[in-house]
Structure formats: structure tokens, C-alpha cells
Amino acid sequence: MQNIQLHIDSDGVAIASIDVAGRTMNVFTPELTADLAHLVAKVKADDNIRGVVICSNKDNAFIAGADLMDFVQSYDKGLSNRECAELVEPASEALRALEQLGKPVAVAINGLALGGGFELCLACHYRVLVKHPKAVVGLPEVTIGLLPGGGGTQRLPRLIGIPKALPLLLSGKHVSGDEALALGMVDALADADQVVEVARQWVLNNPEWHVPWDQRGFKVPGGVGAMAGHSMDSFGIGIAKLRGQTQDNYPAPIAIMKAVYEGTMVPLDRALKIERGYFGQLLGGPVARNLMRTMFVNRGAARKLENRPAHIAKHPVQKLGVLGAGMMGAGIAQVSAQASIDVVMLDTTSEQAAAGKENISKSLSHAVQKGRIDQASVDALLARIHTTADFADLAGCDFVVEAVFEDRGVKAEAYKNTLEGLGKQVEGFVMASNTSTLPVSSLAEGWATPEEFIGVHFFSPVDRMPIVEIIRGAKTSDHALARAMDFVAQLRKIPIVVNDSPGFYTSRIFCAYIDEGMAMLHEGVMPAVIENAGKQAGFATPPLAVTDEVSLDLQQRVINQSAADGLDDKFLRLHAVPVVEKMNALGRLGRKTGGGFYQFEPGQPKRLWPGLAEHFVATPQQPPLADVKNRLLYIQALESARCVEEGVVIASADGDLGSILALGYPTWTGGTLSFIETVGPAAFVAECDRLADLYGERFRPSAWLRERATERSVFY
């Protein structure tokens, strides 16, 4: 066995240590499945073996789950639901054979055991978990659009009852030691040096152990089926809640509920077939492909900086300069100091710089009160931030982020003052602009070395948003790009890299989204219809609500700047201008002024402003809800395709990650470009043409996109 090391001790207990070859962490692979089947056959045939303890040879981890690369291409390969179900059949059967070994089997869980790893634990007869804060168990398959295919939906309810098991399956929650013991997911906790021994002693003390659910008269704790006392809460009300939460965009939760309901009413062998059937349906559909590909495979690759220029040596930031101590500048300073980087935060006056640091302190004090960080860590973080109004204090910084007001003149002045303060000695010094819309190539003209100038677009709130958009200007060097990616990685954020353009990538598709919402409002679509359509489509925040958060005066300034720069009409957002101007004239700029499209009253939930009905009169005939949803979904996807066509988006994976993690595009789609693939290029183009005929030429696909649709060309 290549992946399992077997040792039989003097008491006749077989210690089976899992060590998947070539992996830093154990994952469930077809090779491991084959070795488990071989282990069962060997132990069963040897009368000298009294029982088995399964453990891991990897430090601080048992098994992290399945290797998603075995699954992620199933949909694109055109596998049928039956063929998808067959992919997990060997593992399911191997675990069933282990469970029915006829000899006691205990598992010593030395760290995290998730997905297929915990399904292996469930197939064992006794589970011992190490006492360690990072030791967690769970079945998180729902988060990748799947359900457990190795018996998890059947053994967990039989072990702890449906009312306890179903919430764990539907949430994918990782459960730590004490809670896992209280729930009955594990049978014992032990110190690291005792985990195997506790499991071994159980094997010796239980030579005649048999699986409870294989015994005549076994009943699932709490009952099963429609007559169980919990049935209405678990399934009746439960399905209604699920549909409200998922808007029917995510099939996995409903499939889990069906598998549990149906499977717990029949013997386990039949139940496992039911489970595999639902697994096959999910794996054979696009949503699981989208979630696996974007949210796990591509996000993991981005974290590892797979697109970083390989010929540039790694160079983490030692001392960071931040120009501007406002909300964004202070946020960047905070997350940088939290990453153990020394920070010089500069503003126009010493008082303004100090005020920025005080805001950081206040924010962190709330985190201390909530137990998210301790005071000693806060003190150390604040000690790394030096505030100043003197540009000469930037001496020694090897990377500077400019985060001043989004105005070309203000930014140019900041670069001029930096160069004067440093005596123009900026060799090896990377200047990065935290701009959201202004073209980086033109901003770089104000810097002494344009090749060392780059855009780094952070999102608000900086401490919570997981992604940073890196914008490469016309003259940006590989060195500056590598340094920017290294910096983002230091902050434990995910970098996406795009080429320069007005609005780059994320701002272009974000504006397309909010502008479409405002355009519909101007056309007479009821605001509640617009917002509910956004929610039903799966957007993190509907368009009018999110516009209130970013403010309408900012939208006016961006539009004005685009006009002043002489940009094409497509950047002037003409279909949204009437609404932007009206709201600015009314003084309703969004949350920051206490009201925009919504009313924000202290102590009250926000609600749509009744005055919208007066200023934007609804038409008697409202459009179909499907059209409203599609306008929001398709306009962003179409703008993303344009960004690919224009060379702004370099890698499709970055486009998808940016749309979801930065802007809240629905995760079920896998992102804007994956959405086009999910619909199908030809069907996407046809729907865009229909929308263009009804609602405006901005929906009209380009000749480039039409050609791709004809050729059935995909983005991956």
C-alpha cells in the first residue's frame, strides 16, 4: 500500500497510518481509496489482527477532504449524472467494507478531518479527536455545491439524529473539539501524545463491536420520516427557509435535505445509493463546477501567486509609506501593521495623520471588546504606525501606497511632494496608487519612474474585504508587478491582476451594475422590484442599496471626471446620469447623509425612501421579473467580456474572482465569465440581443463575442 503504512503491535492491533504520497496534507484520492480496500481485505484475512486504529502520518491534520481536481472538470467533460455518481462509488464501498469489517475499528484524529476525511471517521466505530484549537471536523461539501458522497448524509444522522445533523450538513460548519464531543460527532478527546493510545485501548476493550445501524431494531435518534416530532421543523419549515435563503440558485442544500429524508427511512446500503444519486446530480450540474473552479481552485491559485513574474526574486515590503490618513489610507495602514510591516502614514497636517491613527485605535478597541484580538496585539500594531506630515519621513520606505482623494490634481500634488521630500531618490521604490477609476498610465506620468508605478485598488472596508485589484499601467515593469503581488500576499489578501483602462475591471462592471439599477428606476420600474430582483438573482447587495453605500456624489464626480478626460460615451454612463443628478440635487447622497434611495434612521432597519415614488414615477405595466434579474446579471457579464476583448482582463480566473469577492456577483454563477459559460455563449448572445432590442444598445454584443459564440469558444 503506497498511501497507508501498516504496523501490527504485540497486542494484535493494526496501526494503519495514512500518508498520501506526494502531498503535504492527506486528501482523499482514488489511490487512497484502493489502499483502504486493500487494508480491509488484509485485516479481515488475518486472524491474528484483533482490530484496527487508523491515524495520520501528517502533522496536525488527518484528511482534508477530497482532491477537487478529481471533480472540477466533470461538468465540462459532459459526464452524465450516473457517471458522476460512479466517481464516488469506490470510496463509498470501501468505507462500507471498513464499517462491516467484523473487527473493531477506531480512528485517532490528530487534526482537521473534513469532507471525505470525516466520512472515513464516521465509517469507523470509535472516534478520538486531539485536543487542539485547529482540530476541527465537519462535512463542508455544501460550500462547493456538492453533498457528502461517502456516506456523510446517512451516517451522521444515524449517529446524532437528524435535528443535530441536518444543520451541520446544510451549513458545512467546521466543528471544534468540545462542541464535536457534545454533539456526539466524536466519542473522546485526548492530548496529542495519547490520541492513538486511547483509540488502541478502545479496540482492545471492544472485541465484539458491531455497527449499531446494522443491528435489528436500530432507530435513528429522534425518529425519521413525516411522523417524526421534528419533521415539520427539519423538513417542512426547513425547506421554506432554504428556498428563501438560496432563492433556488443553489441546488445542493435541497439535495442534502432530500438525501437525509429519503435515506434515513431505508437500510444503509440502499441509503448510500440514494446519496450517490443526488451527488451525481449535483456534480453533473454547472453550479458545483462554478463553485469548485472559482471559489476553491482559482482562489487557491491566486493566493499562491501563480501569475507572479517568476524571474523576479521575492521581496516583501519592509517599510510601507501610506499617503492619506482617511478611511482608505487608515485601513491600508491597519492591515499592513497587522501583517508586521512598519508603516509611515502621512497626511496634509500632523493632526490629520494622528486622527487617522486614532480612528484605527477606535476600530480595534471594538474588536478587543468582541474578543477578536487582545489588547497587547493592538498596542504592538499601533506602535508600528508612525504618523507625520513631513514627506521626508518616507525615507527608508521601499513601497508607498497613495490613498488620497480620487482627484487627478490631488494625486499629482502628492507625487510631486513625495519626490521633493525624498530629493527624487526613488530607485527601487515602488509607488502604488489606490485609485478606483483613474487610469494608472496617466497617473504614472507624474512619477519620476513610471515603470515603478502601479495601481493597487483596495476595497472598503479594507480590513474585511479579501481581495485587491492590481492594475498594470502601460509602462509598469515586471518588478513593480511582482512587488505589488508580494505586498498583497503579505496582507493575506487575494490579488487579481488587470491591465489599465478607465475604471479598470472591477469599477467598470460595478458601475454597469448600479447604473442598470438606476436606469430601471428612471424607466419607471418600481424600486422594490429592482431590489428584490437583485436579491433573487443572488447578488450580495441589490443595486440601489449598494449605490447608497458608495454614495451618489462620488458617482457624480466620477462621471464629471470621465467627461473632463474626454472618454468615449460608453464611459460616461449616460443612462444613469438623470438619476445621479436628481439625487444629488435632492441632497440624498446615500448612507453618509442619512438617506439616498433608502432611509437610514437611528435604531430602525433601513427601508426604501417613500419619496422615490414622487420623483421616479412607476409605469403601470411593470417588466417581467426575469427581465429585471437578467438585466442585472447580463450587463455585468457582458462588460466583463468586453474587458477580455480589450485586454483589460488578462486571466479569466481573475475576472471571476474579482466579480464575486470584490463586488458580490452571485457565487452560484462562478463569476461573470463563468456565467457566460453556464448559460452557453450562443444563448448568452441571443439573450443580450433580446435585451438590447427592449432596453438599449448597451446590451448589444460585439462582433468579437458573436464570433466566439459561433465557434463555441469558452473562457477557460
Give residue-wise pLDDT tens across range 411-422. 999 999 999 888
Domain CATH for 539: 1.10.1040.50
Q: Is 716 inside any structural domain?
A: no
Annotated active-site residue 99? The verdict is no
Q: Is 331 inside any structural domain?
A: yes
C-alpha to C-alpha distances, 544 to 209, 519, 549, nearest whole angstrom: 61, 11, 9
Give residue 422's pLDDT: 83
**Residue 88 neighbours by CB under 8 Å, 6+ apart:** 149, 150, 276, 279
Q: Is 390 inside any structural domain?
A: yes
C-alpha to C-alpha distances, 345 to 332, 385, 444, nearest whole angstrom: 10, 7, 21
The string of pLDDT tens digits covering residues 658-695 is 999 999 999 999 999 999 999 999 999 999 999 999 99
Q: Cα(100)–Cα(232) distance, rounded to whole angstroms? A: 34
Annotated active-site residue 402? The verdict is no
- Domain stop point among 237, 265, 284: 284
Q: Could you give the 3-state DSSP secondary structure of residue 570? A: helix
β-pair partners for 63: 113
Q: Residue 218 is part of which domain span?
A: 4-284
Q: Cα(188)–Cα(551) distance, rounded to whole angstroms? A: 54
Judging by beta carbons within 10 Å of its beta carbon (0-12, 13-18, 19+), is residue 586 exposed, middle or buried?
A: middle
Q: Is-contact 708 669, C-beta < 8 A?
A: no
What percentage of residues in the chain have a pLDDT greater than 90? Answer: 90
The string of pLDDT tens digits covering residues 137-174 is 999 999 999 999 999 999 999 999 999 999 999 999 99
Q: For 649, which DSSP code?
A: B
Q: Is 297 inside any structural domain?
A: no
Q: Is-contact 498 650, C-beta < 8 A?
A: yes
Judging by beta carbons within 10 Å of its beta carbon (0-12, 13-18, 19+), is residue 8 exposed, middle or buried?
A: middle
Q: Cα(33)–Cα(1) distance, rounded to whole angstroms? A: 11
Q: For 291, which DSSP code?
A: I
pLDDT at 428 over 80: no
Closest CA to 139 of 91, 180, 90: 180
The one catalytic residue in 93, 99, 141, 469 is 141
Q: Cα(549)–Cα(586) distance, rounded to whole angstroms? A: 17
C-alpha to C-alpha distances, 391 to 20, 33, 202, 360, nearest whole angstrom: 54, 62, 68, 21
Q: Do residues 244 and 326 both lie within one domain? A: no
Report CA dihedral (432, 433, 438, 444) to the nearest 10 degrees: -50
Q: Do residues 357 and 463 both lie within one domain? A: yes
Q: Do residues 181 and 257 both lie within one domain? A: yes
Rg from Cα positions in the chain: 29
**Residue 635 neighbours by CB under 8 Å, 6+ apart:** 512, 513, 516, 698, 699
Q: Could you give the 3-state DSSP secondary structure of residue 129? A: strand
Give residue 714's pLDDT: 87
pLDDT at 696 over 80: yes
Peptide bond into 461 cis (omega under 30): yes
Q: Cα(140)–Cα(254) distance, rounded to whole angstroms? A: 15
- pTM to 2 decimals? 0.93
Q: Is-contact 429 402, C-beta < 8 A?
A: no
Instruction: Give the residue, 24 or 666, on which the prediction is more confident.
Output: 666
Q: Do residues 227 and 332 both lie within one domain? A: no
Domain CATH for 340: 3.40.50.720
Closest CA to 138 of 63, 212, 196: 63
pLDDT at 606 over 70: yes
Q: Is 303 inside any structural domain?
A: no
- Give me the mean pLDDT over the 120-134 stretch: 97
Q: Do residues 381 and 245 both lie within one domain? A: no
Q: What angle do CA 292, 298, 299 make, to 5 degrees?
A: 95
Give residue 370's pLDDT: 87
Q: Cα(245)–Cα(20) distance, rounded to whole angstroms? A: 38
Give residue 248's pLDDT: 93
Q: Cα(105)–Cα(121) distance, rounded to whole angstroms? A: 10
pLDDT tier at 544, thresholds 50, 70, 90: very high
- Give me the mean pLDDT over the 519-538 stretch: 98
Domain CATH for 231: 3.90.226.10
Closest CA to 109 of 90, 134, 88: 134
- Domain stop point among 471, 499, 527: 499
Q: Do residues 268 and 351 both lie within one domain? A: no
The string of pLDDT tens digits covering residues 629-658 is 999 999 999 999 999 999 999 999 999 999
- Give me the mean pLDDT over the 201-224 stretch: 94
pLDDT tier at 352, thresholds 50, 70, 90: very high
Instruction: Give the residue, 615 or 572, on which the prediction is more confident.
Output: 615
Q: Is-contact 283 146, C-beta < 8 A?
A: yes
The one catalytic residue in 93, 99, 119, 639 is 119
Q: Cα(83)–Cα(280) distance, rounded to whole angstroms? A: 7
Q: Dihedral of CA 291/294/298/303: which sign? A: negative
pLDDT tier at 426, thresholds 50, 70, 90: low
Mean pLDDT, all residues of the chain: 95
- Domain stop point among 437, 466, 499: 499
Neighbours of 378 (CB within 10 A): 18
Q: Do residues 392 and 268 both lie within one domain? A: no
Q: Do residues 483 and 515 both lie within one domain? A: no
Cell numbers for 223, please give them.
Answer: 425518529
Q: Do residues 239 and 333 both lie within one domain? A: no
What is the b/e burial string over 152-177, where b = at least 16 CB atoms within 10 angstroms of the residue's CB?
Answer: bbbbbbbbbbbbbbbebbbebbbbbb
- Give me the mean pLDDT over the 455-461 stretch: 95
What are the backbone angles phi and psi of residue 629, rounded to the nearest 5°? -60, -45
Q: Do residues 184 and 251 both lie within one domain? A: yes
Q: Could you give the 3-state DSSP secondary structure of residue 455? A: strand
The string of pLDDT tens digits covering residues 319-336 is 999 999 999 999 999 999
What are the backbone angles phi and psi of residue 107, rounded to the nearest 5°? -125, 135
Q: Is 299 inside any structural domain?
A: no
pLDDT at 1 over 90: no
Q: Cα(511)–Cα(155) distance, rounded to whole angstroms? A: 48
How many structural domains compose the chain?
A: 3
The string of pLDDT tens digits covering residues 251-280 is 999 999 999 999 999 999 999 999 999 999
Q: Do residues 479 and 540 both lie within one domain? A: no
What is the Cα 308 distance to its own chain's centre?
Answer: 21
pLDDT tier at 425, thresholds 50, 70, 90: low
Judging by beta carbons within 10 Å of its beta carbon (0-12, 13-18, 19+), is residue 377 exposed, middle or buried?
A: middle
Q: Is-contact 144 116, C-beta < 8 A?
A: no
Q: Do residues 419 and 548 both lie within one domain? A: no
Q: Is 94 inside any structural domain?
A: yes
Q: Is 29 inside any structural domain?
A: yes
Q: Cα(264)–Cα(273) distance, rounded to whole angstroms? A: 12
Q: Beta strand 467-472 with 453-457: parallel, antiparallel or unpaired?
A: antiparallel
Expressed in angstroms, the distance from the first to the final Cα of the chain is 36
